[in-house]
Amino acid sequence: MSVFEKNINSIKKWNRVTADQLQESIPSEEVFIGDAYIEGQFLAVCRGDKLKVIGSTYSPAHEAERYIMQFETGMDPQNIVLYGFGSGSIVKVLLERSAEFGRIIVFEPCIDLFLKLIHEKDLSNIFENDRLRLFLGNNDVSLFEEYLDQIIEDHNFRSYHYGCLSQYKQLFPESEENIRQRYLSILERKEADYNTMVHFGKSITKCEIHTFRYMMHAKNLYDLKSYINSDIPCILVAAGPSLEKNAEHLRKAKGKSFIICVDSAADYLASQGIMPDMICTVDSDKQGVCFANPILHSIPIAITTTSSYAQIDKIATPEVMYFSSQSIIHEKVFRELGVEMPCVYGGGSVALNIFEIALKLGFRTIIMIGQDLALTNNMAHAGKGGLVESDLHSYSLCQVDGYYGDPVITRSDFLFYIQWYNSRIPELTDITVVNATEGGAALKGTKQMPFEEAVKQYCISEFDFMTTYAKISYIIQNDEQKSLVYQMLEKHYKMLDNLKRDVVQARMDTDRACKHIDSGYVNSKELERVNQKNTKILDRMALSDASDMLYRYMVQTENSLTDGLGRDDRSPLQETMILYSRIIRYMDELIDAIDYQLPEWTAVLDVIKKEL
């Protein structure tokens, strides 16, 4: 078996598509591989009349050791995102040091370089390491981004580090900039999610519990997909100031499109006598008044499992359609009911969520109005008049490219959404996205046209949404399924109650051990028992269906439990005391989190029990 065949067989074990692509690839530029002065290889590629060397020609191993020094290591393994595979020497060292480094994600932009390498060098042991994930060439850009978005989470984003191998930035400047910006964008989103949880953790958790109440009479939004003609345009209505100029044209689109609006635009539309087909609400701590107008109460509402129940409860009998599940226990219940409910990430904005809904429902034409994302005419929202302090408070301002070509003023949160659109829309090559906002910020990849023209061009066929909505069955269809949900949630409640008792006991034991160590009495058997109990508590948290909801309440403590430990200038007992004091604080917050949740679960169980 040749070196190339051996490498290909190893790659096939984790990605047959990539292996097939490599076998079929025909190199388009000349690549050389050379032996370094000290053991190892380097690569070189001809660019014009110059030979560009990739990697050390002296000692690739020493280069690798020096290179990885840039990545901070702590007690927990760090995850590395590399632009460029090079000769594989740096990846090899990272994989060997498993105590310091976890996942190694590599984007190699040049298939020709990689092909030359795997024809000449046996790297099968590297390719078979399950800590490595490799992406190759332009076709893998979206896969690379999707993978990072899945594995980087709000509680681990700080453990990820980006690096670009020597010469790669010079050889592939545009590609490197694209990959780095996609990586940074994901990190920014995860950090935003983390900050949101720190700020809104309690309200999110409370909403997650109470949205179970709506499951008794709710539908699955994705059941609409098989009934919707993809030729019908989807009109996304945000609450930007330019919405005021387009309200009259929206009236003409009714019945010839699927109109879904954000919650903050609903009352303005109602005031103009316009009824959207669906309203979407996602914020758990939604400020202001939504659904104040009673004529909105018959309109289906698209919600996530963290949507504000305080807003939804303003409607006596809301018609709810779930489109996103944000918690483990929700996913488990949905699955038991035969429903696969995805976790939809909409960039932190309800407007971005309805954009994702339109894509998931299969619409081929998406028209956006009211999506100014700028302070158009010194206004922030339609129907709200001029700017007020709350429109500017806590936000920084900057300029971006405007819809009409001139710069416009936007806020820091709007800028984040603009960047989200500018990354997302250009990828949708088979979908027409029309920006008919007629004001505000320009968005990359969109087709700009006045909304009146968009209605004339795309809103042609008749479409009665409520007739379609009536065809969709409710998620829970019988008393047996209601009982199943009740039993699952009751079991969850009892688990939380039992967990609290065990945590209280473990906290007492840990506190006692701290006092003994502080007084100079060290009993190794006592410490072993305490460690075993604490390990069980942490393991139960990690594996529990309640872990994510409890974590949202105590996110700051969870993230700092082991920070800074493992220092050489402290004795093992000093390290133990620091860890135990943190565990005590962790357990105190865990007890508080459980105490916060239990009464909410009781209230929800009482409501559901009445349905039985």
- In the 8-state DSSP scheme, what is residue 288? S
β-sheet bridge partners, residue 301: 279, 320
pLDDT in tens, 556-602: 554 455 555 555 556 777 778 888 888 898 899 899 999 999 999 99
- In the 8-state DSSP scheme, what is residue 259? E
Sheet holding 50-54, edge to edge: 31-35, 41-47, 50-54
The overall average pLDDT reported for the chain is: 87
Q: For residues 289 and 507, which has the higher predicted lDDT (pLDDT)?
A: 507
User: Which two three-digit tokens encode residue 160?
Assistant: 């990820």
CB within 8 Å of 503: residues ≥ 6 apart: 537, 587, 590, 591, 594
Q: How far apart are CA 74 and CA 156, in angstroms?
A: 13
Q: How far apart are CA 400 and CA 440, in angstroms?
A: 9
Q: How far apart are CA 241 and CA 302, in angstroms?
A: 23
Q: For residues 200 and 367, which has the higher predicted lDDT (pLDDT)?
A: 367
Location of structure tokens 């949101």: 196
pLDDT in tens, 111-169: 999 999 999 999 999 999 989 999 999 889 988 998 998 888 776 788 899 999 988 99
Residue 94 near residue 80, CB atoms below 8 Å: yes
Residue 425 near residue 446, CB atoms below 8 Å: yes
Backbone angles phi, psi at 349, to 5 degrees: -130, 140
Q: How far apart are CA 207 and CA 211, in angstroms?
A: 6
pLDDT bracket for residue 388 (50, 70, 90): very low
* HEC-encoded secondary structure of 93-133: HHHHCCCCEEEEEEEECCHHHHHHHHHHCCCHHHHCCCCEE
Q: Tell me which CATH code domain 479-609 carries.
A: 1.20.58
Per-residue confidence (pLDDT) for residue 287, from 0 to 100 = 65
| Percent above pLDDT 70 for the chain | 91
92-101, 236-245, 382-391: lowest mean pLDDT where?
382-391
Say if pTM beats, i.e. exceeds, 0.75: no
Q: For residues 610 and 24, which has the higher predicted lDDT (pLDDT)?
A: 610
Q: Name the nearest CA neighbour of 378 among 410, 354, 402, 407.
A: 410
Provide the residue ranges of all domains of the chain, joining segments of one domain with +: 3-171, 200-470, 479-609
The CATH class that applies to domain 3-171 reads: alpha beta
Q: Is the pLDDT of residue 41 over 80?
A: yes
Residue 50 near residue 133, CB atoms below 8 Å: no
User: Which two three-digit tokens encode residue 551?
Assistant: 């974590």
Per-residue confidence (pLDDT) for residue 290, from 0 to 100 = 75
Q: How far apart are CA 145 and CA 133, in angstroms?
A: 12
Per-residue confidence (pLDDT) for residue 383, from 0 to 100 = 44
pLDDT bracket for residue 76 (50, 70, 90): low
Q: Kindly state the average pLDDT of the residues 350-366.
A: 95
| Percent above pLDDT 90 for the chain | 50
Q: Pairing state of beta strands 432-435 and 365-369?
A: parallel
User: Which two three-digit tokens encode residue 506?
Assistant: 């473990």
- Detail the DSSP E strand segments found in 353-479: 365-369, 397-401, 407-411, 432-435, 447-448
pLDDT in tens, 170-199: 999 999 999 999 999 888 878 877 766 666
Q: Name the nearest CA neighbour of 374 among 343, 395, 345.
A: 395
Q: How far apart are CA 145 and CA 554, in angstroms?
A: 29
Q: Kindly state the average pLDDT of the residues 349-357.
A: 93
Letter for the amino acid at 81?
Answer: V
Q: How far apart are CA 44 and CA 52, in angstroms?
A: 5
User: Which two three-digit tokens encode residue 402?
Assistant: 């405007």
